[in-house]
């Protein structure tokens, strides 16, 4: 499956805010941009989309930045994916079932994959996703301890 950079960077930005923005601490766009090696200008566009979708709030001022608008336990990955690109989790168009192998494959195989992807992203919350990322990153760093 291919996803756009908008979806990829949006998920990265939200995960970064979930990991670094605890206890009301806001995370600035430049911090995310630097940590994640994302163009600041493009990131600001994505952060605007995330703000319009209701995932983040912006705070102005010296200690301004972005915070999650709601608890990461209440944000599913399907919410994020659908906000950034409505086509990722969309059901496939059903071709006429003409009894041909192609129609059967589309109906059985691809629809099942799509159904499983929808169920998985509905069940996976941003909090669990961010914790999984944190755990994977800490395991990686543990290997380099001297």
Which residue's entry shows tokens 């380099």?
144
pLDDT of residue 104: 81
Token pair listed for 89: 């989790």
Average pLDDT in the chain: 87
| CATH number of the domain that residue 72 is part of | 1.10.10.10
Residues 6+ apart with CB under 8 A from 17: 27, 32, 56, 66, 67, 68
Percent of the chain with pLDDT over 90: 58
| Residue 145 pLDDT greater than 50, yes or no | no
Strand-pair partners of 27: 66
Quote the pLDDT of residue 95: 54
Does the reported pTM lie above 0.85? no
Number of domains in the chain: 1
Domain range for 102: 5-142
């Amino acid at each position: 499956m291919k996803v756009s950079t908008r979806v990829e960077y949006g998920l990265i930005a939200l995960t970064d805010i979930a990991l670094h923005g605890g206890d009301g601490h806001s995370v600035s766009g430049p911090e995310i941009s630097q940590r994640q090696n994302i163009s600041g200008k493009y990131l600001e566009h994505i952060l605007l989309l995330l703000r319009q979708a209701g995932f983040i709030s912006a705070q102005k001022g010296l200690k301004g930045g972005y915070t999650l608008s709601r608890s990461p336990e209440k944000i599913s990955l399907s919410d994020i994916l659908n906000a950034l690109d409505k086509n990722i989790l969309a059901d496939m168009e059903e071709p006429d079932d003409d009894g041909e192998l192609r129609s059967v494959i589309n109906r059985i195989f691809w629809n099942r994959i799509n159904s499983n992807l929808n169920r998985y992203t509905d069940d996976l919350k941003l909090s669990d996703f961010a914790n999984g990322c944190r755990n994977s990153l800490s395991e990686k760093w543990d290997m380099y301890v001297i």
